[in-house]
Amino acid sequence: MTKQSPRSQEPRVSRPARGAKLRVRFTFPQRLVTEPVIWYLSKHFDVITNIRRAEVKESTGWVVLELEGKEEEVQRGLQWVREQGVRVDLVTGDIVEG
Amino acid sequence: MPYVKALRCRECGREYPQEPINVCDFCFGPLEVVYDYEAISRVISRERIARGPLSIWRYADLLPADSERAVDINAGFTPLIKAKNLGRRLGLDNLYLKNDCVNPSYSFKDRVVSIAATKALEFGFDTVACASTGNLACSVAAHAARAGMKAVVFIPADLEKGKVVGAAIYGPTLVAVNGNYDDVNRLCSEIADSYHWAFVNINVRPYYSEGSKTLGYEVAEQLGWRAPDHAIVPAASGSLFTKIWKGLKEMSDLKLIGPVKTRMHLTQPTGCSPISTAYLEGTLNIRPVKPKTIAKSLAIGNPADGYYALKTIQQSRGTAWSVTDEEIVEGIKLLASTEGIFTETAGGVVVAGLEKLAKSGAIQKDEVTVAYITGNGLKTQEAVENVVQPLLIEPSLAAFEKAIKER
């Protein structure tokens, strides 16, 4: 009998159909630092959010994460995030150079 | 023969093989080139460097691309000039200017693009690409022409034609995107993922950025194998600033120069100063901004190396400054009228920042100070158009003499 690894015994996470993957950085203003913006994004848009790095302080916070889902849905979700007042940037920083 | 061991994530330390990748798969942090310094130390020497070409490739042992196949339009080894007149004006006896205005496409970008284009050929790309409103576009197009590669340059559609003549002349495909800077940023990121092109500051960025170290190497060599006491550097992404420091430290670690005590001073335009602002607020957290400045070559609102630039300031006991658009213009005029060098707006940012730094008393009179002048004034003539104030006269000697007397 093959010994199953602990990882294979864990419940599989149900994911939406694979689509666009986008790596972004959210920068939060002070008034949104304690708001569950990413939870709301996942709950109300068909987008998987996968956090890789974050720092949260009293006056500001940032999160580096990957978003996965159909491209239009990812963009809709990001539009909503921006409308809340969160700055959205590519993880690479600005690409257009002088 | 490059002495590159691997790429390493600057955040989590994970290592990756030499490939055209720039982001860690685990934590999405930026990747950096890692060298075999032990192997380099066995071959490198001042004499070996001095025997090299009068370009960035004299430092080939410390660069991540094969110099035998270099895409080289003779970037680098630009003049280091003692600025007696400007120094006297600012109360500095040992002020030097590193004049990168005279690079082949008239900015320091030739250094980083030479590396990127060489690496692109090594990786088997036939196309180099970038998104740029000026200097980078020119350099990429020029190097691609030299290498026989295709070039694709993305610009915002509302960019003035004059800004891109200097790039278009080399024959790249120019793509004008009908959107703002954010749109061009996002689109280029998607294209870099979809097309097998070498985007110089995306998928070959770890190699590209190493070219800026040569500004540290050259200054040290030109000062007689020593590091300056102070360096004043303009910052857009922050990469140039961090790499000059890295270059000086490498030279010291390899015993080519003594210990590095250089204080690194960063300058930005007030209309786009996320790094200077964080420094003044005493934080390492960069808050991205929307750029609004005449210094377009420094207009990066979300600087990829902002955090690392702040760390460099800390490690070197340096400072950061921001200057207004008016001060930038006066800085350009001051440099031209004292030292005969016509720099673009980024250079004006440096001179204006240097004035503030000198006034602050942070530089002792006899300390060796180097101001990095990164681009040529012909690129941003519109910023100083008001200097054109000719004496308008009728075609007679009398009219001329009258006008001269009254001037």
Q: Is A90 near chain B, with CB under 8 Å?
A: yes
Q: Is A91 near chain B, with CB under 8 Å?
A: yes
List, as one string, the DSSP characters of B194-262.
HS--EETTTTTHHHHGGGGGHHHHHHHHHTTS---SEEEEE-SSSHHHHHHHHHHHHHHHTTSS----P
Identify the CATH number of the domain in which residue A38 sits: 3.30.70
Q: Is A76 a domain residue?
A: no
Which residue, B136, B188, B184, B129, is CA-closest to B158? Answer: B184
Q: Which one of A53, A89, A97 has the shortest CB-CB distance to B136? A: A97
Q: Is A62 a domain residue?
A: yes
Beta-bridge partner residues of B266: B233, B320
Q: Is A74 a domain residue?
A: no
B chain contacts of residue A74, beta-carbon cutoff 8 Å: none
The model's pLDDT over A15-37, given as tens digits with 9 standing for 90+, comes to 555 678 899 999 999 999 999 99
Q: Is A96 near chain B, with CB under 8 Å?
A: yes
What's the structural domain count of chain A?
1
Alpha helical stretches, state H, B16-149 = 37-43, 46-50, 84-90, 109-122, 135-147
Tokens standing for residue B30: 């930026």
Give the three-class secondary structure for B38: helix
Contact B248, B300 (CB under 8 A): no
Residue contact B134–A62, C-beta within 8 A:
no
**Interface ipTM above 0.85:** no
Residue contact A94–B186, C-beta within 8 A:
no
* Structural domain containing residue A35: 15-68+85-98
Q: Which one of A55, A89, A98 has the shortest CB-CB distance to B134? A: A98
On the 0-12 / 13-18 / 19+ scale of CB atoms within 10 A, B300 is buried
On the 0-12 / 13-18 / 19+ scale of CB atoms within 10 A, B389 is exposed
Q: What is the pLDDT along chain B (407 residues), one digit of tens a residue?
A: 689 999 999 999 999 999 999 999 999 999 999 999 999 999 999 999 999 999 999 999 999 999 999 999 999 999 999 999 999 999 999 999 999 999 999 999 999 999 999 999 999 999 999 998 889 999 999 999 999 999 999 988 877 777 788 899 999 999 998 887 778 888 888 888 889 999 998 999 999 999 999 999 999 999 999 999 999 999 999 999 999 999 999 999 999 999 999 999 999 999 999 999 999 999 998 988 989 999 989 999 889 999 999 999 999 999 999 999 999 999 999 999 999 999 999 999 999 999 999 999 999 999 999 999 999 999 888 899 888 899 999 999 999 999 999 88
